[in-house]
Amino acid sequence: MIRFPSIKNSDKIGYAWGYESNSYRNRVAYDAHQFMTYGDGMCQHSPMGNLEPGNTIDFLYSMADHLLKNPADLDIARSGWAYDESVQTIAFLASLHWKEGKTKYYSFGDMKVSSADSKRYDKRWAEIPEYADGTLNAVYRMFLANRGMDLFHQIHLINQICDWFSDSMGSSWSVYGKDCFLWLRELAPGKDEWDCWRPIRDAYSMVDRQIRAHYMTYRLKQWVDQYREAE
């Protein structure tokens, strides 16, 4: 576990990232924690608690600052960090479209579609929902219907879906005005979901880029070592 000071609330709290056996499952990020310092440096004066939603942006900026100053901690930061979903799965879910009067089922794991009525009783299959219309909102909701994710993983997923639409279809979708994105208002102030999303996306992307760069540097070293040792 790594611990680091808050940029905006250093007179009150400190932050931590990593597995904590005594902490409740955190809906913001399973590995994100905060504790009371009462201005006493990084001395912990309370039990480790879950990151409060309103501290999310400060947590991410503070974590980015800590990793810039302590790059050796990137190995720990990478543990528990969100991962990319399969682009094939994103493409499959984006291809699903509900049609009135035509009941069809889809398999999230196998990425298949069937109109066979027998699939109704197979737990590996689910009926294509009415909201399935090939948009970011639909793809995002079907991911959540099939996989549990904390909010950091959901931020990561939204970023990835947006990038997929931009790269693969030359189009983009906004998180504005969708009920399933109301949780963004818990993490950042703003007049609407899109207004909240932008600072959250920017803060999250800073840490994500640090971790991605660290991983690629690690992989590059492996490839060079493999080439060096090859006969």
Domain boundaries, the chain: 2-80, 87-173
* Each residue's pLDDT tens digit, 95-150: 999 999 999 999 999 999 999 999 999 999 999 999 999 999 999 999 999 999 99
Q: Tell me which H or E stretch contains 204.
A: helix 193-229
> What pLDDT is stored for residue 200 in this prediction?
96
CA angle 79, 80, 82 (to 5 degrees): 115
> What pLDDT is stored for residue 178 in this prediction?
73
Single pTM value for the model: 0.91
Tell me the C-alpha to C-alpha distance, in Å, between residue 159 and each of 67, 109, 121, 220. 22, 22, 34, 25
CA angle 120, 124, 126 (to 5 degrees): 50
Distance CA 227, CA 135 (A): 44
* Each residue's pLDDT tens digit, 9-32: 989 999 999 987 666 678 899 999
Cβ neighbours for 123, distance < 8 A, ≥ 6 positions apart: none
- The pLDDT of residue 174 is above 80: no
- The pLDDT of residue 172 is above 90: no
- The pLDDT of residue 198 is above 80: yes
